[in-house]
Structure 1
Amino acid sequence: MAKEELMTLDGLVEEVLPDGRFRVCLENDHRVIAYTAGKMRRFRIRTLAGDRVQVEMSPYDLDKARLVYRERVASSGFAQRKGGRR
């Protein structure tokens, strides 16, 4: 299968499952099981329920997807709440 055949869709993480998998609701209300792509796993990009993500899917299997991008959002991180870095 060539990479040109992959579909890229936007979605919302509904549930975090074991073993680096996620239940994602796509913008067309289709639900898929997505796993973390290699680059996201390598750079330890954390994904939580409620995050907006992009997934890649094969047109042959519409139940599985690969999570390739997590949209950045303004976070209220621990360092910001406690008054800066230590």
Structure 2
Amino acid sequence: MAKEELIELDGIVDEVLPDSRYRVTLDNGIEVGAYASGRIRKHRIRILAGDRVTLEMSPYDLTKGRINFRHKDERGPAPTSRPQQYRR
């Protein structure tokens, strides 16, 4: 039996819940529960509230999703507050 086609949607993380779970509002306004995919957990990619993410949803249960990509924002690196010190 072939695997069913997954639905890919974009959204914004509203709330970070325990156990790598998240509450995400999709672009169409629907709020769903989501969890981080294994690849995101393996590479320790941090997802915070306000991040833009892409998630996959099964056509059978449209209340849950799996986050498979966190979009990078266009900000540059944070400025350092002190000069770097080199060890001799």
Percent of pairs identical after alignment? 49
Give the aligned partner of residue 66 of structure 2: 66
Number of residue pairs aligned between Structure 1 and Structure 2: 83
- Please give the alpha-carbon distance, in whole angstroms, between the structure 2 residues aligned to 1:84 and 1:56: 43
SS, match of residue 62 in structure 2: strand
The structure-2 alpha-carbon separation of the partners of 1:75 and 1:37, relative to structure 1 and needing over 3 Å to count, comes to: farther
The structure-2 alpha-carbon separation of the partners of 1:85 and 1:65, relative to structure 1 and needing over 3 Å to count, comes to: farther
Is there any run of 5+ residues in structure 1 with no aligned partner, and where? none
- Alpha-carbon RMSD across the aligned residues, in angstroms, is 1.8
The structure with the larger Rg is 2
- Please give the alpha-carbon distance, in whole angstroms, between the structure 1 residues aligned to 2:5 and 2:83: 46
| Bigger strand fraction | 1
Is there any run of 5+ residues in structure 2 with no aligned partner, and where? none
- Please give the alpha-carbon distance, in whole angstroms, between the structure 2 residues aligned to 1:67 and 1:54: 6
The TM-score normalised by the length of structure 2 is 0.85
